[in-house]
Amino acid sequence: MQPKIYTWLCLLLVWVSLPAWAASPRDADQALSAWQLPEAKRILEELETKAPDSVETLYLWARYDFYEGNYDQAVERLDQAIATAPRREFQELREIVASTRDVTKNYTKHTSPKGYFEIWLEPGKDEVLLPHAFEALDLAYDAFAEEIGYRPPTPVRVEVYPQTTTLAKVSILTEDDIRTSGTIALCKYNRLMITSPRATLRGYGWVDTLVHEYVHYVVNQKTHNRVPIWMHEGLAKFLERRWRGPDQHMLAPSSEHLLQKRVKANSLITFDQMHPSMAKLPSQEDAALAFAEVYTAMEYLREKAGPDAFERLLDLIAQGRDAQRAFAEVLGVPFQQFEREWKASLKSRKASAFPEESGFEERLVFKEEAESELKQMESPKARDHMHLGEIMQARDRFEAAVIQYQKAERIAGSHNPVLQSRLAHSLLALGRAEEAVSSLESSVEFYPSYVSSWINLGKAYAALSQWDKALEHLNEAARINPFDPEVHSEMARVYKAMGRTEDEAQARRFMTLVSAP
């Protein structure tokens, strides 16, 4: 037989004997990076059969275990891998996995009513988060199936951390990143990761934040992690309220105002500057601006391309299309043209009548940053009247307190939520519930994250025997700061009036839970 023919036949035999698709460590790495765990497991099982002693396969199995939440097994595999080959990436992963294992070792698992989510948290006070978390997440799972056309495998893992220091231990963020940017939650390592609102002074919109992170999860899963950060954050910001209903998206008035201010100053943040993470931006203001920008970009896309724009965009990216090209294709214009026209639309965006003179700054405040809320009043004269009102209120001299608060209001306007909540409190003590409602209307519109406004509105509507409205406002308070005992004591009172004995009992149980030292 001629040598060339013999060589060709040998190659043919090798080719015929190979499987149609041969797995490689790179394939497993890509599947893990895309959070396609069933596919990753199939590849790893094949790799293990071929090379059972491979340190690379051992490392990839450890990543798989980590993403599945099997932290003990992941650490064990990493220790074996490091003993054989002490590579830096092995050691870095072990550090995060071991920290996560240690943080969560006493956590308990709670499954949502529809079985879509598993929330892991410390036994005790954080259990008060479960009802509102489950409500929003289960609704979001079904809502995003309609909006984006994708249902991820269930259950989705959620972990709740008691402090920002804990979030820093189990992620790539530093404490400085968290405090500087106000980043208090992440979607990483195939899970949702959120800091409990008890780590903050006044709470924060933790329910919408949790859904925001779930949007990231769905987008990652559907597109195999091919979406750039600006697009990711734009979708998450636009859809974080989608669990409430189809047309509930909203940009906070303070964010609208900040956006207009920075447009006029020609100091917007570019999409490239948002990479690799909003958490790396230099201030809470810059992070808020970036979120406002990407929200309006997604709003622009949806208005121009229709209600199915997000689904079509993610479908194209999932098929392998470059994200910018996919965006341009759905919009129907080149991406550079979109950027020009979108920025032009920001200049003509309807101006918000935001009360800058109120002096209140809507930002994340951590417990150790506690200071007198009087500092949230800009005018010294108004601050003096508010302080006198507080003194009168503490002495149960509510008529005198109202007089002082109204004097402050005449100077500073009716928008400062600290002032208006104190005024409402004294009005309620005098039985003037309708006036209390009126006193809060403006401040709650402009500063919806100030929890006392919602509590006082709930109390006012309860005083007017408008039980459904009272419950609506108290639930909104719980979605900001469920660690305020008054939220639950007022809920218990409303449930009792409505004859809802089981709900009343739960509210009283939660009141006791959050009141404990």
Q: Please write the tens of the pLDDT for every residue from 141-159.
A: 999 999 999 999 999 999 9
Q: How many residues does the chain have?
A: 517
What number does CATH give the domain 23-103? 1.25.40
Q: How many CB atoms lie within 10 A of CB 24?
A: 13
pLDDT digits (tens, 9 = 90+) for 26-39: 999 999 999 999 99
Judged by DSSP in three states, 69 sits in coil
Phi-psi region of 206 (alpha: psi -120 to 50; beta: other; left: phi over 0): alpha
The answer to whether 357 touches 412, Cβ cutoff 8 Å, is yes
pLDDT band, residue 54 (cuts 50/70/90): very high
The answer to whether 194 touches 161, Cβ cutoff 8 Å, is yes
For 13, the token pair is 């035999």
pLDDT of residue 502: 98
Name the H helices within 306-432. Answer: 309-318, 323-331, 335-347, 380-394, 398-412, 417-429
pLDDT band, residue 15 (cuts 50/70/90): very low
pLDDT digits (tens, 9 = 90+) for 404-449: 999 999 999 999 999 999 999 999 999 999 999 999 999 999 999 9
pLDDT digits (tens, 9 = 90+) for 105-126: 999 999 999 999 999 999 999 9
The sign of the CA dihedral 278, 281, 283, 285 is negative
pLDDT band, residue 6 (cuts 50/70/90): very low
Residues pairing with 158 in the sheet? 119, 192
> Of all residues in the chain, what percent carry a pLDDT higher than 90?
86
pLDDT of residue 1: 46
Residue 359 clears pLDDT 90, i.e. is over it: no
pLDDT of residue 26: 96
Q: What are the distances in angstroms from CA 492 to CA 430, 472, 508, 511, 513?
A: 22, 13, 6, 9, 14
Average pLDDT over residues 114-139: 99
Fold of 378-515: 1.25.40
Please provide the distance, in angstroms rounded to a whole number, between the alpha carbons at the two ends of the chain.
Answer: 89
pLDDT digits (tens, 9 = 90+) for 462-509: 999 999 999 999 999 999 999 999 999 999 999 999 999 999 999 999
Residue 325 clears pLDDT 60, i.e. is over it: yes
pLDDT band, residue 21 (cuts 50/70/90): low
What number does CATH give the domain 108-347? 1.10.390.10
Nearest to 395 by CA among 429, 428, 421: 429
For 399, the token pair is 């008529």
Residue type, 385: H
Q: What is the mean pLDDT of the chain?
A: 93
Q: Which range is least confidently modeled, 245-254, 289-298, 323-332?
A: 245-254
Considering the chain, tell me which residue range(s) the CATH 1.25.40.10 domain(s) occupy. Answer: 378-515
Phi-psi region of 124 (alpha: psi -120 to 50; beta: other; left: phi over 0): left
For 18, the token pair is 């190979």
Nearest to 214 by CA among 283, 166, 281, 142: 142
d(Cα 141, Cα 154) in Å, to the nearest integer?
A: 10
pLDDT digits (tens, 9 = 90+) for 204-259: 999 999 999 999 999 999 999 999 999 999 999 999 999 999 999 999 999 999 99
pLDDT of residue 19: 46
d(Cα 464, Cα 444) in Å, to the nearest integer?
A: 19
Q: Which residues lie below 8 Å from residue 17, measured CB to CB, with a gap of 6+?
A: none
Half-sphere exposure of 236 (CA within 13 A, CB side): 26
Q: How many CB atoms lie within 10 A of CB 359?
A: 19
* Residue owning tokens 């507080």: 390
pLDDT band, residue 2 (cuts 50/70/90): very low
pLDDT of residue 111: 99
* Residue owning tokens 């209120």: 393
Average pLDDT over residues 321-341: 98
d(Cα 198, Cα 184) in Å, to the nearest integer?
A: 12
Q: Are strands 117-121 and 156-161 parallel, antiparallel or unpaired?
A: parallel
The per-residue DSSP string of 457-497 comes to: HHHHHHHTT-HHHHHHHHHHHHTT-TT-HHHHHHHHHHHHH
> Of all residues in the chain, what percent carry a pLDDT higher than 70?
95
* Residue 34 DSSP class: T
pLDDT of residue 16: 37
Residue of higher predicted confidence among 286 and 358 = 286
d(Cα 363, Cα 380) in Å, to the nearest integer?
A: 22
Considering the chain, tell me which residue range(s) the CATH 1.10.390.10 domain(s) occupy. Answer: 108-347
